[in-house]
Amino acid sequence: MDCRFRVGVLGRSICFSDRELEVAAIEGMARGYHPFPVAIYGPEGCGKTTLTRYLVHRLGNEGYLAIYLDALTEVPGKALELSPPIPQHVVEDALRSLSVPLSGVIARYAARVAEALWRRVKMRRGVVVVVDDVYRAVGLGAAERYTKALYEWVSRSAPRHGVKNLLVLLTTSEGVSKRLLARHSYVELYMLWNLPEKGFEEFVEQLNPPHSPSDLYTATGGNPRILIEIARHGWDHERVRRMYRDRIRSAIRSLGIPREKLRELARDPDADPETAAKLEELGLMIELMRSSALGEAPNPDPDLGIGTEWAWQTPLFRTAVLEL
Ligand SMILES: Nc1ncnc2c1ncn2[C@@H]1O[C@H](COP(=O)(O)OP(=O)(O)OP(=O)(O)O)[C@@H](O)[C@H]1O
Ligand SMILES: [Mg+2]
């Protein structure tokens, strides 16, 4: 737990929890020459944004210029976070110097933004650029082109501008983009799973729950967003499950997935990869790609809805499906 980085949850400010393994892995990448953009995918709400914002804060204190771009925010001043902090007039001057329209998705110009900033700021160790939720913003049709262009940029630009190390991190919770990227050698793909039980306990205890952390772990599988949803509804996880059941019902009706197929996957997440892939597109299941886990891959556990190759993004979805 690192209380120097605080996260706003339900009107409280809590300490950043866990993720030591993931932080160590990415710090290792930042230290050496890392020519490939690193794409991180994981369940919705598992903590990708929080982890990357934490990394930016931390690396900014370790001699890097760390740039975080929220691809879904269209106002440049709000989409950009820098560590260490840089005077506002320097940032404005850097953005003005770009020959791009400064409305719309600033993430499209991530490379140019980074170059304009690093020309104005002294950094000892290198540059880290995070583009969060990028594929939803640039569009799936552009996912491969966008990532390839970043790869070309990393291999060309850093040496040319005398930047010692340049690491680009991209995040997505969107299943199709992950599948597109998995085919290519110009990007490294890593999976970030939900919080492990001990880390989840650290997180949840800061919210003074009326239930035991282990019961809440059984309900959420360590997904912090679902936990927050449960807390917001008076810690009534049955109610949240019913809400998801109704949402899932209307989503799967539109795809025409038979109920028996869902039940089969609720019993065994690996039973039907074709249907599991459709459910991945709805943000309900996810392909695990165990060898590419950024921290630890989750152990198979039928009660938590985790198989060998496929898993429910949170057990709450699995139990909701059983009630359909
Ligand atoms: N390590 C952590 N420590 C403390 N709080 C966390 C941590 N990880 C996530 N959270 C909390 O959980 C919430 C959901 O996490 P976050 O938004 O980072 O998930 P995400 O994976 O980026 O979601 P999405 O797939 O929608 O982009 C955050 O708003 C934050 O409050
Ligand atoms: Mg996010």
Q: Whose CA is nearest to atom 15 of ligand 1?
A: 47
Grade residue 323 by pLDDT with cuts at 50, 70 and 90.
confident
pLDDT tens sequence across 215-232: 999 999 999 999 999 999
Cβ neighbourhood burial of 31 (10 Å; 0-12, 13-18, 19+): middle
Residue 116 located in a structural domain: yes
Grade residue 147 by pLDDT with cuts at 50, 70 and 90.
very high
50 vs 27: CA distance, rounded Å: 16
2 vs 15: CA distance, rounded Å: 6
Residue 73 located in a structural domain: yes
Rounded to a whole number of angstroms, the CA Rg of the chain reads 20
**Higher pLDDT pick, 47 / 175:** 47
Please name which ligand lies nearest the alpha carbon of 132: 2
Grade residue 163 by pLDDT with cuts at 50, 70 and 90.
confident
- How many Cα atoms occupy the beta-carbon half-sphere of 311 within 13 Å? 29
What mean pLDDT value characterizes the chain? 91
pLDDT greater than 90 at residue 131: yes
Q: Check residue 102 and give its pLDDT.
A: 60
Residue 252 located in a structural domain: yes
Please name which ligand lies nearest the alpha carbon of 131: 2
- Nearest by Cα to 107 from 84, 129, 82: 129
Q: Is 70 in the pocket of ligand 1 (CB under 6 A)?
A: no
Q: Is 7 in the pocket of ligand 1 (CB under 6 A)?
A: yes
Q: Is 72 in the pocket of ligand 1 (CB under 6 A)?
A: no
| Same domain as 266, residue 187 | no
User: Cα of 40 to ligand 2 centre, how many Å?
Assistant: 11
Domain count, the chain: 2
Q: Check residue 148 and give its pLDDT.
A: 93
**Higher pLDDT pick, 201 / 165:** 201
| Same domain as 257, residue 181 | no
Residue 123 DSSP label: -
Q: Check residue 71 and give its pLDDT.
A: 86
| Same domain as 262, residue 169 | no
Residue 267 located in a structural domain: yes
Domain region containing 302? 236-322
User: Cα of 132 to ligand 2 centre, how many Å?
Assistant: 7
Grade residue 74 by pLDDT with cuts at 50, 70 and 90.
confident
Q: Check residue 23 and give its pLDDT.
A: 98
Q: Is 199 in the pocket of ligand 1 (CB under 6 A)?
A: no
For position 23, which CATH number holds? Answer: 3.40.50
| Same domain as 164, residue 64 | yes
Q: Is 225 in the pocket of ligand 1 (CB under 6 A)?
A: yes
Only one residue has tokens 């490939």, namely 36
| Same domain as 264, residue 169 | no
- Nearest by Cα to 72 from 7, 148, 21, 139: 139
Q: Check residue 294 and give its pLDDT.
A: 95
Grade residue 38 by pLDDT with cuts at 50, 70 and 90.
very high
